[in-house]
Homo-oligomer: A and B are copies of this chain.
Amino acid sequence: MTKKIGITEVALRDAPQSLIATRMPMSDMLPILDKLDKVGYYSLECWGGATFDSCLRFLNEDPWERLRILRKHCPNTKLQMLFRGQNMLGYRHYADDVLEYFVQRSVANGIDIIRIFDALNDIKNLQTAIKAAKKEGATAQVAISYTTGPVFTTDYYVKYAKQIEEAGADSICIKDMAALLTPYKTYELVSALKKAVQLPIQLHTHYTSGLASMCLLKGIEAGADVIDTAISPLALGTSHAPTESMVAALQGTEYDTGIDLKVFGEIREYFMKLRKKYIESGLLDQSMLATNTKALLYQVPGGMLSNLLSQLKQAGKAEQLEDVLQEVPRVRKDAGYPPLVTPTSQIVGTQAVFNVITGERYKMCTNEFKDLVAGKYGTTPMPIDEEFAKKIIGDQPRITCRPADLLKPELDTLRKECAEWTEQEEDVLSYAMFPKVATDFFKKRAAAKYGVDEKHADAQAQIHPV
């Protein structure tokens, strides 16, 4: 009857991404890695998502080097990354050869579990990534982008879960990025998925609306196998349920995690110091730590709400927020009900703002909205009406195949483009994700190397600049 519940610690990836815009440098992680490695986590989510971009753009860190350090200091714990399917870690669709090579290098440098998701829940955008992960011997977990709306019934998720199982994934994650799950909805959904598929089910939900720990508990009662949590100093608010609290809640029950609460003493203390530092520097805003049920009220992610408001303010139409919030579900319906997650939340939100402030629906359309209607992001959960598509994209052909099938291999071209800067074979992948940002990073790296040599020279000459 006893079933050990696994814990994925998100202190190194999603917690900093949710609370401090992914600005946690490697130097803040390093001192605590050996202790994290000894906890007995199911896995440590520590790479991918926005960390890659943040390393190159803001932290002047090589993401690959970060991964190697994480691997070296956590030899006993599975390392997990977040991967946006055919989008990978960038903002466009990539050809399969780039994707396969990225997965190969990720696993070679230390990744054990690749969590793959698609904004449209289009299985076609996940197939190559699943195969690549399995080929490299990694665990291929597919995350369902959870959302609400008339088509997102339990049946919808059950069908998608079956597609995921058929595609060869090793496990399924319910990814509730917008914190829209409630405890009893979670219970119903997990129960249905457990009945429909044989795969282990993992739960990922944010604390934003203050329901996360209750959702995890009810999910576990319904059969969830692994849950995502954040060490308490980086928990709550827009982050996750506190790790220690979930361990304590399950201790001594049939769902015991097998983790001893005592192991968190020094880890919590360490992260409390970081938390304090982030708050004092202004990086962590205390208002992010309070819960907010606004997202539940409007059924849109919290981040999207603030984006809408700021777009309206720029247009001097802040008073039309309520109209825009009424328009969002209509635009979603027209566009085939995309889940609201990056990038679809921005695409739908901006279009809803345009529809309201111009006073005429679809008088102005963004290119991204046109691409969405044209099928360039993949197949939407519901078909888009022919008439509507014609209105938006005219006679432009609509894509119904896998968008990546239209892409030619591009790795060789990318290699040539960045050849002058590359110092390791993984560099081409950094370049592929963020050509401009990676090139800037490469330049700084080269300059620093030169600078280091200069220093050595100075040291030898006994010249110490103050």
Contacts and interface: CB of A to CB of B under 8 A. Distances in A.
Contacts of A251: 182
Interface string A238-258: 000110110111010100000
A211 B291 contact: no
Interface string A244-283: 1101110101000000011011001000100110010000
20 contacts: A184-B253, A209-B245, A209-B248, A210-B241, A210-B242, A210-B248, A213-B213, A214-B214, A214-B217, A217-B218, A232-B291, A232-B292, A235-B290, A236-B289, A248-B293, A261-B297, A265-B294, A275-B290, A279-B286, A289-B289
A25 to B, nearest CB: 21
Given A183-B249, A248-B182, A291-B232, A210 B210 contact: no
Which of A245, A268, A296 has the most chain B CB atoms inside 10 A of its CB?
A245
A287 interface: yes
Contacts of A235: 210, 290-291
A286 B241 CA distance: 17
What is the oligomeric copy number?
2
A244 B297 CA distance: 11
A301 interface: no
Contacts of A279: 286
Given A210-B241, A264-B293, A265-B294, 8 more contacts: A183-B249, A210-B244, A217-B217, A232-B292, A261-B296, A268-B292, A275-B290, A289-B289
A233 interface: yes
A234 B104 CA distance: 48
Interface in A178-230: 182-184, 209-211, 213-214, 217-218
Interface residues of A, number: 42
Interface string A314-358: 000000000000000000000000000000000000000000000
Contacts of A276: 286-287
A290 B242 CA distance: 9
Contacts of A236: 236, 289-291
Contacts of A287: 272, 275-276
A290 B261 contact: no
A211 B248 contact: yes
A297 B293 CA distance: 31
A294 B247 CA distance: 13
Contact of A293 (B214, B217, B261, B292): B261
B209 A293 contact: no
Contacts of A248: 182, 209-211, 293, 296
Nearest to A253: B184
Nearest to A260: B297
A290 B249 contact: no
A245 B210 contact: yes
Nearest to A279: B286
Please name the 6 residue pairs, one residue from A and one from B, whose CB atoms are nearest each other, closest first.
A210-B245, A244-B293, A210-B242, A242-B291, A232-B291, A248-B293
A229 to B, nearest CB: 10
Given A182-B251, A253-B184, A286-B276, A244 B291 contact: yes
A232 B210 contact: yes
Interface in A123-169: none
A378 B257 CA distance: 41
Contact of A214 (B184, B249, B294): B249
